A and B are shown apart, each in its own frame.
Chain A
Amino acid sequence: MTQYMLSVPGNVDDPMPSDDVMQQMFKDVEAFNETVRAAGKWVFAGGLEPITTATTVDATGESPTVTDGPYSEAKEFLGGFWIIEAADLDEALTWAKQGSAACGGRVEVRPFSPA
């Protein structure tokens, strides 16, 4: 088994979805989460607050700095993710298709490097 991160990008230009859409999405995602748990593939998952809440810390220099905002100027940022167990990429892709449909967003699939 390999662990894969299924990440869902957000975009600073995305409009805020309506309450109804949000409620449906939460329901669909929870149903998907339940399927992942029932299959014994669940490791961890979470949704993140908007990128406007990000703070960047840099302790690579002489004294650590703390900056308001993300480390990347990109419009896309990590919106949420699942970490799952899967036998191989095909299984991870099958889960990712279901996750993408549930959350209404694209999903990027990446393997974790072995511990």
Chain B
Amino acid sequence: MTGPALEAALGADAVADVVRTEYGRVVAGLIRRFGDIGLAEDALGDALVVALERWPRDGVPPNPAGWLTTTATRKALDHLRREKVRDEKYAEATMLTDDTPPEPTGPVTDDRLRLIFTCCHPALAEPARVALTLRLLGGLTVGEIASAFLVPETTMAQRITRAKAKIAKARIPYRVPEQDDLAERLDGVLAVLYLIYNEGYLSSGADTADRPDLAAEAIRLTRAVRSLARGIGSPPEVDGLLALMLLGSARRPARIGPDGSLVTLDEQDRALWDAGLIDEGHALVRECLRRGRPGPYQLQAAIQAVHTDALDVSLTDWSQVVALYDQLLALAPTPVVALNRAVAVAELDGPQVALAVVDGLGLTAYAPWHATRADLLRRLGRADDASRAYAAAIATTDNPAERAWLGRRRETLGGPTSPP
């Protein structure tokens, strides 16, 4: 590529970069100013079109986000003038936003923090919260979000449109919640980020093992929330969630084998783990421990830290893992946590003890439950039962890497097996 073609490509890349990194900040500021999500998005969309025309020709401005904000603001004002509803819209805008005057951007008052609490409001259904967060804070297109969650684009567009209409009509506020509600509402935000991450970590669909772009987006948004949360006392669960995501992502290079099948923790080539992410995750976990206010994300991160601390699976401190699961189970007494605890119990007290626990959980629609049973049965020499359990596990997941791994495990059971 030479001349204009090269410049055009650079311009398009620069626009894409800004969209990714600055979309949330710019759109949040516009929503703050105009009190109207749709208008803010349309104006920013118009500004991006202008950027795509000009930047390749004139070069990327020194402060692209500022340039986009100025241009989009002008577009929005033009639009309001054209519609001749300027006064009404302004009146509406002041009601839609809050009554505090605009403040300079900073960790305490960043508009994105308000926006994420709006996107993750409990009055919106969870799929809508996830979609709005990716759209408005992450700057992903509706098409990208639809393909990440394997729903038709029209369905995703409707979901987002309906959520935005509800925000406007029911007047879901654009502000950081009051102190009384803050902890609970922040939990809601973290839950959305964790959902996005989990879909990236292990895709629920049949097309792909994982979606590293989605996991990376969740990490980026969690980092943003973490820096914003300094203004509200840096709740340690935010650090815990970030550590959990980093330690999970650190193992990604070893998690999918060359044949596309999942590689479980005990069989991963630990030399492939990302040492930088592990260091960062461990530092966060240590900081959480120092603060002594454990929560479910911190405990899960601590468990991941124990695993990623072992250079070989045989060096894993299983008693520490079980102790952490005991704490986690006390805070989050769910069957899934109990199942994960049982996996560690099997290492400490043997597969027979663990199997009794697992059988009592009855998570028949959950592939990892069947897979865990299958593995325990295999270790107890009950090959036929194990084979049936692997078959049940395969029947309860669509993920191709998980299916490939389960199929391989089932084949290597050896000995006579009866059909499921």
Binding site for A on B (CB under 8 A): 95, 121, 123, 169-173, 177, 181
Contact = CB atoms under 8 A, between A and B. Distances in A.
B341 to A, nearest CB: 35
Contacts of B181: 90
A2 B169 CA distance: 9
A111 B171 contact: yes
Nearest to B174: A88
Contacts of A111: 169-171
A113 B173 contact: no
Interface of A: 1-2, 87-90, 93, 109-111, 113
A20 to B, nearest CB: 33
A88 B173 contact: yes
B171 A88 contact: yes
A26 B170 CA distance: 29
A88 B169 contact: no
Contacts, number: 24
A36 B170 CA distance: 20
Contacts of A90: 172-173, 177, 181
Q: Give the interface centre of A1, A87, A90, A109 by most chain B CB atoms within 10 Å.
A: A90
Contacts of B95: 1
Given A89-B170, A109-B170, A111-B171, 4 more contacts: A88-B172, A88-B173, A89-B173, A111-B170
B197 to A, nearest CB: 27
A87 B95 CA distance: 8
A93 B171 CA distance: 11
Contacts of A1: 95
Contacts of A89: 121, 123, 170-173
B120 to A, nearest CB: 13
Contacts of B170: 89, 109-111
Q: Give the interface centre of B169, B172, B177, B181 by most chain A CB atoms within 10 Å.
A: B169
A110 B169 CA distance: 9
A55 B172 CA distance: 36
A101 B123 CA distance: 19
A2 B95 CA distance: 10
18 contacts: A1-B95, A2-B171, A87-B171, A88-B171, A88-B172, A88-B173, A89-B121, A89-B170, A89-B171, A89-B172, A89-B173, A90-B173, A93-B123, A110-B170, A111-B169, A111-B170, A111-B171, A113-B169
A111 B173 CA distance: 13
A113 B170 CA distance: 9
Nearest to A4: B170
Q: Nearest 9 A-B pairs (CB), nearest first? A: A88-B173, A88-B171, A111-B170, A89-B170, A89-B172, A89-B171, A90-B173, A2-B171, A111-B169
Contacts of B177: 90
A106 to B, nearest CB: 15
B89 to A, nearest CB: 13
Nearest to B123: A89
Contacts of B121: 89
A56 B241 CA distance: 55
Q: Give the interface centre of A87, A88, A109, A110 by most chain B CB atoms within 10 Å.
A: A88
Q: Give the interface centre of B123, B171, B172, B177 by most chain A CB atoms within 10 Å.
A: B171
A114 to B, nearest CB: 9
A94 to B, nearest CB: 9
Nearest to A113: B169
Nearest to B167: A89
B371 to A, nearest CB: 39
Nearest to A110: B170
Contacts of A110: 170
Nearest to B121: A89
Contacts of B173: 87-90
B184 to A, nearest CB: 12
A14 B2 CA distance: 77
Contacts of B123: 89, 93
A90 B175 CA distance: 10
Nearest to B185: A90
Contacts of B171: 2, 87-89, 111
Nearest to B117: A90
Contacts of A113: 169
